Structure 1
Amino acid sequence: MERPQVRVYTDYKSPYAFVANKQLFELEETYGVELEWLPYTLRIPEFMGTVEERTPHFWRKVRYSYMDARRFANAQDLVMKGPRRIYDAFYSSVGMLFAQRHGIFRSYHETVFARFWNHDLELDELSAISGVITSLGGSAAEFEAYVHGPARAEHDRIIDDAEALGVFGVPTMVFNGELFWGGDRIDMLVERIQNPQSAAKALGSRYGK
């Protein structure tokens, strides 16, 4: 029997993506799901505005979001320190793609998340991401050649394809063309995996069909 396939879009600078990892990997172990991990690198100013434009209402929402994500982190014994600045996660995102092709994805994925949220890794420094890859047995020279070669075009194509599907945030899971945004939708995703026919009924009732 063919394994259910779920595409997961994630970003290392997202607190909610970080705390969703455990449940997502459990999909493989418990339900035999095949996960396809892809980067969706959030462009912070695009959807949050510049720091100068942000209102008091916005900052209340931000403070709550990090507090809320930290509750999930604490339940998993994960360290989550608030980010010190706005990061461009391009290097870490293409590092994910590189790690997948060199058999070190799971270690890379967990290392980057854990170290970033422990204030032990700068996502937007090429040397820092190269260092992670080297520490896991990969080649920094090959990774940097990839970064300076086809990485940008591949990364941007993945983002464009994600947005064509309707992706706007992380973590987003895609199963049989249906999107599930956020770790609090993983239980609904499990329901779909167990009963794929339920999707047509649920989506039909949503649109009054």
Structure 2
Amino acid sequence: MEKPRVRVYTDYKSPYAYVANARLFALEETYGVELEWLPYTLRIPEFMGTVEARTPHFWRKVRYSYMDARRFANAQGLVMKGPRRIYDAFHSSAGMLFAQRHGLFRRYHDAVFRRFWNHELEIDELSEISGVIAAIGGDAAGFEAYVRGPARAEHDRIIDEAEALGVFGVPTMVFNGELFWGGDRIDMLIERINHPETIATALGSRHRK
């Protein structure tokens, strides 16, 4: 019998993606699903605006969001230090794709999240991501060749496909064509995994509104 498949879009610079990891990986063990991890690299200025244009209201929301995510992190024994600047996470996203192809995904994924949120890794520096690849037994030179070659086109195609599905943030889970955004939707995702026949009803109700 084929395992239920859940696609997960994530970004290493998202605090909420970081704290959702443990529950998402637990789906594999508890519910026998197969997780397909893909990057959705957030373009921060596109939806948050430039730093100079942000209002006091915006910064209150940002401070609360990190405080809220840190509560989830603390409950899991995770360290979460606020980002020091705005990051372009393309290199870390390319590393995810490369690591998957070479059987290194979980070690890479855990290392990048943990080191970034501990202020031990600059995820937009090619040399630092190459260092992670090398440290987990991968081919750093092969990774750099991938980044300079087909990585950008593959990455952008994945983003375009995600947005065609309706993805706009992370973590986003896709199960049988239905989207679930945020770690607080994992319980709803579990309900769908246990009762997949309810998806058609849920989608039909949404389309009738």
Normalised by the length of structure 1, the TM-score is 0.98
Which residue of the partner structure matches residue 190 of structure 1? 190
Deviation at 1:203, TM superposition (A): 2.7
SS of the residue 1:179 aligns to: strand
Q: How does 1:106-185 map to 2 (within 5 A)?
A: 106-185=106-185
Is there any run of 5+ residues in structure 1 with no aligned partner, and where? none
Q: What is the 5 A alignment of 1:58-73?
A: 58-73=58-73
Query: 1:61-91: CA deviations, max 9, x gaps?
Result: 1000000000000000000000000000000
Shift of 1:208: 4.0
> Shift in Å at residue 199 of structure 1?
1.4
Alpha-carbon offset, residue 207 of structure 1: 4.1
Identity of aligned residues (%): 84
Distance 1:208 1:116 in 2: 43
Cα drift, residue 201 of structure 1: 1.9
Give the Å deviation of 1:202.
2.2
Q: Any idea what SS the aligned residue of 2:35 has? A: strand
Q: Note the alpha carbon deviations across 1:97-155, whole angstroms, 9 max, x for none.
A: 00001111000000000000000000010000000000000011000000000000000
SS for the counterpart of 1:196 is coil
Query: Aligned with 1:170: secondary structure?
Result: coil
Q: How many residues align?
A: 209
Distance 1:205 1:142 in 2: 48
SS for the counterpart of 1:28 is helix
Which residue number in structure 2 is paired with residue 105 of structure 1? 105
1:84 aligns with 2:72: no
Query: What's the offset of the Cα at 1:48?
Result: 0.3
- 1:40-72 alpha-carbon deviations (Å, 9 max, x no partner): 000000000000111111101100000000000
RMSD over aligned Cα, in angstroms? 0.9
Distance 1:159 1:206 in 2: 25
> Which residue identity does 1:135 align to in structure 2?
A
SS in 2 for 1:8: strand
Q: Distance in 1 between matches of 2:93 and 2:181?
A: 19
Amino acid at match of 1:57: H
Amino acid at match of 1:126: L
Return the alpha-carbon distance in structure 2 between the equivalents of residues 18 and 73 of structure 1. 8
1:138-184 residue CA offsets vs partner (Å, 9 max, x unmatched): 01100000000000000000000000000000000000000000000
Displacement over 6 Å in runs of 4+ = none
AA aligned opposite 1:51: V
Partner of 1:11 in structure 2?
11
| Distance across 1 between alignment mates of 2:137 and 2:206 | 49
SS in 2 for 1:42: coil
**SS of 1:180 mapped into structure 2:** strand
Q: Structure 2: which 5+ runs fail to align? A: none
